Amino acid sequence: MFVSARPNALFNRNVLPIYSHFYCFLFFPGRFEQTENCTVVEHDKSDFPEDLFTTEERQHGAIVLHVLCGLYCFIVIAFVCNDYFLPSVDCICQDLNLSKDVAGATFMAFATSAPELFVNVIGTFLTESDLGVGTVVGSAVFNTLGVAACGGLAAKSVIPLEMWPLVRDCSIYAFVVAVLTVILWDEKVFWYEALILLLLYIVYCVVLFCQQRLFNAAKTVIHKNKNSFHSQRHKTSLETDRKTRARMKKSNLVWWLLSWPVAFCLYITVPDCRLRRSLYPATFLMCTVWIGVSSYVVSWMMTVVGDTLGISDSVMGLTLVAIGGSMPEASTSIINARLGIGSMTISNALGGNTLDILLSLGLPWFIKALLPPSMNGGPVAIQSQNLVYNNAAQLICIMVLFSTALLNRLK
C-alpha cells in the first residue's frame, strides 16, 4: 500500500472537469442554489467567527497573516503529534495490551477527530448549519486516500500491512456510511436516531477491544515475529530520526526561532509522559485539546483565504479545508510511516472516519434533539440533498483503498 504515488495516473486533466459538479455536491452538501446555467456556491465563512479584517484589507495584503497563521498551526500540530501525542498512545498500548491497529482506530482516532467534533458542535448549536456534516464528508475522502498517500510518500521503505485490520476497518466504515444514509434520508435527525449512532460507537469499541482476545490464540507465533521485527525497526528508525532532528536544530537557526514558542507553550501546558510516564492520561487529554483547537484554526484560516481569493467552496473543501481538518491524521501518518508502522496509520484514518460519523455527529445531534423547543432544541434539520453522491463517493474511496492494498500485496 505504501508505495510511490503516481497522481497523474489517478487524476488525469481530461477527467477532472467531468466530475466538477460531483465534487461540489460531495464536499458541500445542501449549499448550492441552482440557476439556469450554473450552480452558485454559498461560502461558509459565516460559519466561523468574524474576521478581524475586512474583505478590502485582506485583498490588500492582510490575507498574508491568515496564511502564516494557518501554516504556523501546521507546525503546532506536528509538534504535538511527534513529541507528546504518539508517546502517550504508546503508553496506552502498553498498559492496556493493545495492538497498534486497535490503538490507531480508537484512542488515536478519538484525538485526531477532535476538530470534526468541535466544528459540528458549533454548526449544531451556534450557527445551526450543515457545517459539521460538510466537514466530516470533506475530511473523510482525504482521510481514506490522502492520509495513506502521505504515509507512502514519507516511508523510508516498503511497509507491510496486515489483512485483518484492513478488512475490519473498511467493512465497519462502509456499514456506518450506510447507516448515516438511512438516518439522513428524511433530512431530519431525531434523538433516537442520534442515539443509534452513539450505541453503534460503543459496539464498535467493544468489538475492537474484544477481537484481540479472539485472534491472539490463533496468531501468537505470527504476532510475536512481526512485533519483534517492527519493534527493532521502530527503535532503529527512532534513533536515526532523533539524530537527524538534532543536526537540523543545530544548523537551522531560523527553524529554532520559529519553533521555540510552540515548544515553550507545549512545555508549560502538556505534561511530558516521556519524563514522567504516570502522567500519560493528562498528556493524551491535553494533546486532544491542542489538536482540536489548532485544526479548527487551520480550517478557519483556509476558509477565509478561499473566500478572499474567490476560490469556490468545492475546490477549498477538496484541498485546503479538507487537508486542514485532517492535519492530525496526516501528521501521525507521516511519523508512523517513518517509523515503519503501517497498520496503525490506516486504522487511524478509517477509525477516525467512523468516529466522526458515530461520535462527532451523533453526540451533538443527540444533545440538540433532547433539548426542549424553548432552548432551541428538537430534531436537527439537515439540508443535505445529495447524500447519494456523498456516500457513493465515500464507498468508492473505500474500494479504491482496499483494491490498491490488495494489488500491492498488502504493502
Q: Which three cell numbers stand for residue 399?
A: 474500494
- Three-point CA angle 128, 146, 144, nearest 5°: 70
* Domain boundary assignment for the chain: 67-407
Q: 71, 20, 58, 103: which is closest to 351 by C-alpha? A: 103
392-402 CB burial, b ≥16 within 10 A, e <16:
ebbbebbeebb
Q: Identify the pLDDT of residue 373.
A: 79
CB 369 within 8 A of CB 190: yes
- Does position 260 have pLDDT exceeding 70, yes or no? yes
CATH architecture of 67-407: Up-down Bundle (1.20)
Calculate mean pLDDT across residues 92-103: 78
What was the pLDDT predicted at 253?
A: 72
Inter-residue contact 381 to 172 (CB < 8 Å): no
Lowest mean per-residue pLDDT among 96-100, 227-231, 375-379, 382-386: 227-231
The yes-or-no verdict on residue 38 having pLDDT over 70 is no
Q: Please state, in angstroms and rounded to a whole number, the distance separating the CA atoms of residues 261 and 20.
A: 41
Task: State how far the Cα of 261 lies from the Cα of 162, in Å rounded to an integer.
Answer: 40
pLDDT, tens only, 343-367: 777 887 888 888 888 888 888 889 8
Please give the helix or strand (H or E) that residue 231 lies within, else none: helix 220-251
Work out the mean pLDDT of the chain and round it to a whole number: 73
Whether residue 299 is predicted with pLDDT greater than 70 in this model: the reply is yes
Distance CA 110, CA 231 (A): 24
Whether 142 shows a pLDDT value over 60: the answer reads: yes
Q: Which amino acid does the sequence have at 25?
A: F
Percent of the chain with pLDDT over 90: 6
The answer, yes or no, to whether residue 18 has pLDDT greater than 70, is: no
Q: Phi first, then psi: what are they for 263, rounded to 5°?
A: -60, -40
What average pLDDT does range 301-306 have in this prediction?
81
Return d(Cα 305, Cα 8) in angstroms, integer. Answer: 27
Q: What is the pLDDT of residue 282?
A: 93
Kindly list the distances between the CA atom of residue 1 and the CA atoms of 124, 285, 323, 407, in Å, as whole numbers in the listed order: 37, 31, 20, 8
Q: Does 332 have pLDDT greater than 90?
A: no
Backbone angles phi, psi at 188, to 5 degrees: -140, 145
Highest mean pLDDT, choosing among 46-55, 255-264, 282-291:
282-291
Which of 65-74, 121-130, 162-171, 186-195 bottoms out in mean pLDDT, i.e. has the lowest? 121-130
User: What is the per-residue pLDDT across 40-89, written as a single tens digit (0 to 9) for each?
Assistant: 334 456 556 778 888 888 888 888 998 888 888 878 887 888 788 888 88
Model pLDDT, residue 223? 47
Range from 10-24, 92-106, 256-270, 366-380 carrying the lowest mean pLDDT: 10-24
Instruction: Kindly tell me the sign of the dihedral angle through the C-alpha atoms of 114, 78, 144, 165.
Output: negative
Contact assessment for residue 152 and residue 1, using Cβ atoms and an 8 Å cutoff? yes
Task: Let me know: does 189 contact 365? Beta carbons within 8 Å.
Answer: yes
Assigned C-alpha cell, 359: 461520535
pLDDT tens, 270-281? 999 988 889 999
Query: For residues 50 and 113, what is the distance between their CA atoms, to the nearest angstrom?
Result: 24
> What integer pLDDT is reported at residue 286 of this predicted model?
92
Question: What is the sign, positive or negative, of the torsion defined by CA atoms of 378, 383, 384, 386?
Answer: positive
- From residue 110, give the alpha-carbon distance in Å to each of 116, 141, 205, 297: 10, 18, 11, 19
115 pLDDT more than 90: no
What is the tens place of the pLDDT at every residue in 190-228? 889 999 999 998 888 888 877 766 555 545 544 444 444
Q: Which residue has the cell 483565504?
A: 305
Give the C-alpha distances (Å, rounded to integers) separating 47 from 44, 119, 226, 269, 390.
5, 9, 47, 29, 21
184: left (phi over 0), alpha (psi -120 to 50) or beta: alpha
Q: Are 2 and 151 in contact (CB under 8 A)?
A: yes
**Which residues neighbour 333 within 8 Å (Cβ) at sequence distance 6 or greater?**
147, 148, 150, 151, 154, 345, 348, 349
Residue 329 C-beta-side C-alpha neighbours within 13 Å: 36
**Lowest-confidence pick of 80-94, 131-145, 149-163, 265-279:** 131-145
Residue 210's nearest CA partner among 284, 99, 113 is: 99
Q: To the nearest whole percent, how much of the chain has pLDDT over 70?
A: 67
* 312 or 157, which is more confident: 157
Is-contact 340 230, C-beta < 8 A? Answer: yes
pLDDT for the residue numbered 182? 86
